[in-house]
Amino acid sequence: MEPLQRLYDAGAYEPLPLPEELERLYGGPLRLSQQGLYANFVQSIDGVVAIASVPSPGSVISLHSEADRFVMALLRAAAEAVLIGAGTLRDGPGHQWTPEGIDRQRAGAYAELRRRLGLPPQPRLVVLTARGDVDPHHPGFEPGALIVTTELGAERLAGALPGSCEVLVLAGDQRIDVGELLVVLRGGGLGRILSEAGPTVTRQLLAGSLLDELFLTQSPVLIGGERAARPLSGEASLPGHLPGGTRYPAELLSAGRHGSHLFLRYRFAGASSIPPAGGEPSPAGSGQA
């Protein structure tokens, strides 16, 4: 693989102790905070991140980009946990959310990075499911996973999951509060968390101003489709899943290029209201007219 070309780096945070091969391919240092929740998405030019009825649509949208798989694997290698929703698990049959699950070729270098960071061999997989509608034999569970669910979901999964898995009940039969989930994960010592969840969970993380950063691969492809006519069965775009009337300002932390793919990294400032016509709203809670 040709290295990524670094176009911009704001220099935020200390560089990780990357093995030489990973730093060369990434086009420079990877800087991450110790504590942070960062999401990784690949999207088409028209903002599509998921395609109904297509298993693992990310690789279709990325045009099977090796550079995109490399960045995904690198982020997994640096993470203490990888968070997904059950929708992503269901659409990734056979997948393992580990560095070598996406890039076997550089497994040794990812393992070396984890050794240098003092991390266990694999990031902890955390799966969020209200209904417990997951295949207990999914290979993603093999290295051990934390399944966060409701009482109903736990009943459905009782006795079915591999012994290496742990079930955590955080709600009765309703959706789990993702803010509470993060408090529990942090309390369990998981500082640096990568979210590879789909639009449904990501929307909740953004709505709660819980997402610190977004690693966004902009793939050089238009997907097309009739999203407006088929909002539940057609393609999903991340903006289409976000609550209306809210904006999420972000700062560019780095930009890279690999062929016609762009690798962008943003830091969010938190959610705010869209200004009404005629001017900016007063800051939330300031009490000013």
Least distance CB 216 / ligand NAP (angstroms):
9
Least distance CB 241 / ligand NAP (angstroms):
7
86 scored as a contact of ligand NAP (CB under 6 A): yes
Which 3 state secondary structure label does DSSP give 33?
A: coil
- Pick from 236, 241, 235: nearest CA to 204: 241
130 scored as a contact of ligand NAP (CB under 6 A): yes
Which CB, 23 or 69, lies closer to ligand NAP?
69
Least distance CB 194 / ligand NAP (angstroms):
11
Which CB, 112 or 165, lies closer to ligand NAP?
165
**Could you tell me the sign of the dihedral formed by the alpha carbons of 198, 111, 142, 167, in that order?**
negative
* Beta carbons within 10 angstroms of residue 192's beta carbon: 20
Tell me how many residues contact ligand NAP (CB under 6 A): 29
Alpha-carbon span 76 to 71, nearest angstrom: 9
Which 3 state secondary structure label does DSSP give 162?
A: coil
Least distance CB 108 / ligand NAP (angstroms):
26
- Pick from 218, 195, 214, 224: nearest CA to 51: 224
- Pick from 270, 262, 255: nearest CA to 213: 270
| Among 16, 30, 67, 84, interactor with ligand NAP by CB under 6 A | 84
Which CB, 133 or 142, lies closer to ligand NAP?
133
Least distance CB 287 / ligand NAP (angstroms):
32
Long-range pairs of 240-246 with CB within 8 A, sequence gap ≥ 24? 240/47, 240/199, 241/199, 241/200, 241/202, 241/203, 242/203, 242/206, 242/207, 243/203, 243/207, 245/273, 245/274, 246/207, 246/271, 246/272, 246/273, 246/274
**Cβ–Cβ under 8 Å, residues 206 and 271:** yes
Map residues 41-60 to x or -, x wherever contact with ligand NAP holds by CB under 6 A: xx------xx-----xxx--
96 scored as a contact of ligand NAP (CB under 6 A): no
Which 3 state secondary structure label does DSSP give 213?
A: strand
Least distance CB 220 / ligand NAP (angstroms):
15
Task: Looking at residues 180 to 219 of the shown chain, list those that interact with ligand NAP (rule: CB under 6 A).
Answer: 196-201, 204
Q: How many CA atoms lie within 13 A of 62 on its CB side?
A: 21
74 scored as a contact of ligand NAP (CB under 6 A): no
Of the listed pieces 107-115, 129-137, 185-193, 250-258, which binds ligand NAP according to CB under 6 A?
A: 129-137
Map residues 212-251 to x or -, x wherever contact with ligand NAP holds by CB under 6 A: ----------------------------------------
Least distance CB 91 / ligand NAP (angstroms):
4
Least distance CB 112 / ligand NAP (angstroms):
26
| Among 146, 178, 194, 264, interactor with ligand NAP by CB under 6 A | 178
- Residue whose structure tokens are 């997951």: 134
Alpha-carbon span 102 to 68, nearest angstrom: 10
**Cβ–Cβ under 8 Å, residues 129 and 85:** yes
The residues binding ligand NAP (CB under 6 A) are: 41-42, 49-50, 56-58, 61, 84-88, 91, 128-131, 133, 175-176, 178, 196-201, 204
